[in-house]
Amino acid sequence: MADLYLMRHGQTLFNARHRIQGWCDSPLTPLGREQARRAARLLEGIEFDHAYCSTAERCCDTLEIVRPSMPYERMRGLKERGFGLFEGEPEDLNPKWEDAYARVCPPVDGTRPDPSTWDGYEVVFPHFGGETRMQVVDRMRVTCLKIMARPGHERVLAVSSAGACRSFMMNWLTTTECEDILFEGRVPNCAVMRFSYIPPVAGDDGREGRFEFAEILRPDMSGLPTD
């Protein structure tokens, strides 16, 4: 059975400065580079046959630290969610769940939409040139299936971003399962998620392959500042 190791990049300047970072980019911080070096030690016993990353510099730099001599391919489909006009802006402009819910969903006949289905990002970002959640969920699924369907891809490393990694998980896991796996719903810098790839059965025309979550690998970050 083939395995996909999907990894988040190390801490970036925009992470440290709490800037919205999707399609825009910023370099790894010294902490981010050390996180990547620790991830390299975690993965040093694994022989990857192919490597991929997002077109973002932060992902390329992370991959080059983890596997410095390994050739790799950059793929746009592995990019973070696009936030449109909000790119590079302070994170305090991220939609506040409670405020947005109250403003956009006022009571109608004493009722409101189910708050468990509410996503302030969906209300704001797509109207300012950003992507919807499902666009990222679908993009990551299609891209990773395309990668793993290539010949000779048995153990693959792919470096992406937090939101994109979580969106990929949402193809195969429930929201509750994602929350149980992740730390407070977040994908930590340089965390690695291993998925088993199950190809489509021969003769199933039009059927896609699928992935099953196997485990999450967290490098030892002891002694490092929290990001």
Q: Per-residue pLDDT for 84 more than 60?
A: yes
Question: What are the counts of helices (DSSP H) followed by strands (DSSP E) for the chain?
Answer: 8, 6
Q: Look at residue 50 and give its three-state secondary structure.
A: strand
Separation between Cα atoms, residue 147 and residue 141, nearest integer Å: 10
**Using one digit for the tens of pLDDT, what is the confidence trace for 18-58?**
999 999 999 999 999 999 999 999 999 999 999 999 999 99
At 192-206, the pLDDT tens digits run 999 999 998 876 666
* Residues catalogued as catalytic: 9, 80
Mean of per-residue pLDDT scores for the chain: 89
- In this predicted model, which residue has the larger pLDDT, 5 or 175? 5
Cα gap 156→140, rounded to integer Å: 15
Domains and CATH numbers, the chain: 2-79+132-217 (3.40.50.1240), 83-130 (no CATH)
Phi first, then psi: give them for residue 83, nearest 5 degrees. -110, 15
pTM for this one?
A: 0.90
- Does 113 have pLDDT greater than 60? no
